[in-house]
Structure 1
């Protein structure tokens, strides 16, 4: 069998998993706010509102399926207003209505990146200066030494959570003038090289999947700043070993290795690539739900995705309060579903094939107008 034919046959199994997916996505839209809900159980429950991360993730799904260009102006304007309305004028930060969000440093930083990024994709921008420009950024960004003191204080006993804290704080570096950020970047890269495991190429502690997930978080630092991640050959061997020997109980455990492989651009043999695809497809099938979408975990969709990563690793000190977005049922959720879309595209990319459009016959916007 021709290698292309073999990979197309394997990847067609992934495509089949997206039957009814866009109908589910349409059902998550809130026409009043212009945002998207996290899960089906969020829509009918007055405790939950459309949130920043779910709305940005839904936008990414639309973009990855070439639907942004067809977005009606009224929907685009509502979505722009959704993100802009979340920004605080005095500080430049973006917050959801749930007050507990402000207590999770990772969620605060992600909200800035998600909101500013979504507005840029929608050909708009924040209404007010972002935190660094508004002089409301944390004290640790005031000098490279203070930045490193902050990084060195981060507990790496759970690689996923620790690396998430490291990587998301890099937003402030990106917001600095280029000449100002250089000493920060130098110290940051030196520190990461010092704490990287020289055998596995991974960072921090925890299970293999937890450490790979932490390493995935750090790739955003390297990729956004156009820096070569060290020891990618060792990271690749760790990923391959993990995929072949560990159980993927979370959609992140499927997405994070594939995302790393796409970023690292390492040499992958035909047999290894076949294994990677087959394992990923089987893992995705276990997380496909009857509502048409995918859930983060095997047993349920976590109601508070900000603590899902923590429970898979060792206990993390000073755990933030859970930010509940749904009832936590066995259902699809936006977090897992946007990852599933990306996994599919990156599997095609690893095979050097163009992914066909999934939504060719589905009039998405007629369902949410």
Structure 2
């Protein structure tokens, strides 16, 4: 009993220390806001790139950050309208897809699918909606969605030698499966996917594909998004949990995703984690986050620097995945905070409080000058 009380006290101390990592964060976020477009840049160095402009993912992530700071409900009307306009103007009228200005973005199937989710979710939160029909309704979905049989063939053809990238490709297909009508046909597509995933899962680790533990945990995290869309629990959760513990204790978390993905999986699985193990999980998570906190008040995605092109950052130096898309550069690769890492850091904080069964205290933010001075 005494040991459990000690663990509880230490967990609270660790969470309070984690809160302190965000003391300068809202000021950093304000530096990425672009009132003219209504969007947010990825990093401070982004403004110096040729043809620089805010991108879909960074702007949607900034909106998530504002939500986690408790500011979404009272956004100044001018800022809210600017954000709605930003996402609506990104939608292509003919296809229903949402595109950034960089033409290379259109060649990355993961970015394209993710932009649909990011944009639609952002518009929903802001009280707006897409201006045009989404791709499936507009008959512009990928060819593999033409039938359940072609979908299965596509799933089977996705390489998983890098679990993170491969499972990301598998998972993003859920964006299109979710749009299928009628419901009976949608269920056919979903059933094919879940049957395929079950056959592909490693029976010992509970993970999918190949790579280091962190790479495979990240792939498993990507697949959990598919499961979550259809409210289906992950299979072999006990084995996934043991794999997470191994990675935390034995591998270097060189990417913010390697910190966020295990924690997010734990929250989805809703396991009964022993207090001493939860204490260790939060302690290791906090130590890893500290290594990515930068002098500008933000967090870097990677230990070495903020990656210039997050769309190809899943495959690290020395790793390989076939037919990778071209890099879509949205940052300057400096040792600086970036939006991708920041939104994950805040989610990690929220999930750690959730795992501890403690209500997360509000992070003070509303009085920051940049936010207070946006037009009402």
Q: Is the 8 A contact 1:210 1:312 kept in 2?
A: no
Equivalent in the alignment of 1:323:
328
Aligned residues: 369
CA distance, structure 2, for counterparts of residue 92 and residue 237 of structure 1: 42
Q: Is the 8 A contact 2:289 2:345 kept in 1?
A: yes
Q: Is the 8 A contact 1:310 1:316 kept in 2?
A: yes
Structure 1: which 5+ residue stretches go unaligned? Answer: none
Alignment of 1:58-97 (within 5 A): 58-97=62-101
Q: Is the 8 A contact 1:48 1:326 kept in 2?
A: no
Equivalent in the alignment of 1:28:
32
Question: What is the RMSD of the two structures over their aligned residues, measured on CA atoms?
Answer: 1.2
Equivalent in the alignment of 2:168:
164
Q: Deviations over 1:205-239 (max 9, x none)?
A: 00110000000000001111011211011000100
Alignment of 1:33-44 (within 5 A): 33-44=37-48
1:3 Cα deviation from its structure 2 partner: 4.4
Of 99, 103, 108, the match for 2:103: 99
1:16 aligns with 2:15: no
CA distance, structure 2, for counterparts of residue 15 and residue 358 of structure 1: 8
Of 93, 113, 132, the match for 1:128: 132
Q: Deviations over 1:244-286 (max 9, x none)?
A: 1110000000000000000000121111001100000000000
Secondary structure at the counterpart of residue 130 of structure 2: coil
CA distance, structure 2, for counterparts of residue 367 and residue 295 of structure 1: 27
1:193 aligns with 2:198: yes
Equivalent in the alignment of 2:337:
332
Alignment of 1:198-237 (within 5 A): 198-237=203-242
Secondary structure at the counterpart of residue 329 of structure 2: coil
Q: Deviations over 1:288-338 (max 9, x none)?
A: 000000000001000000011012673011110000001110000000000
Equivalent in the alignment of 2:143:
139
Superposition TM-score, scaled by structure 1 size: 0.98
1:57 aligns with 2:38: no
1:72 Cα deviation from its structure 2 partner: 0.8
1:124 Cα deviation from its structure 2 partner: 1.0
Q: Is the 8 A contact 2:34 2:54 kept in 1?
A: yes
Structure 2: which 5+ residue stretches go unaligned? Answer: none
Superposition TM-score, scaled by structure 2 size: 0.96
